[in-house]
Amino acid sequence: MYICLCRGISNHDVRDAVKDGAQTAKCVFKSCGKKPKCGKCIMYLSDCISQQSSEPLSRDLSLSRVTL
């Protein structure tokens, strides 16, 4: 699932970025080699990061855990 539509960053990209040590939305963008555009995704991106960080063994970020 795409978290950032402007830059095409998916939950899988966030997972990989967190594995590489990213802890903030800014770090995730940097890890993906992209820059934020509209900023609408920052809140959801932060949620994803905290979920990934709290469960480092989780292989995937299921949609049910991302609140609307």
* Region from 19-27, 28-36, 38-46, 49-57 binding other proteins, contact rule CB under 8 A: 38-46
Residue given tokens 């292989």 in the structure block = 59
Q: Calculate the CA dihedral of residues 31, 4, 15, 35 and round it to 10 degrees.
A: 10
Of positions 34, 44, 46, 47, contacts other proteins by CB under 8 A = 44
Q: How far is the CB of 9 from other proteins (least distance, A)?
A: 11
Binding residues (CB under 8 A) for other proteins: these are 1-2, 5, 10, 40-41, 44, 63-64, 68
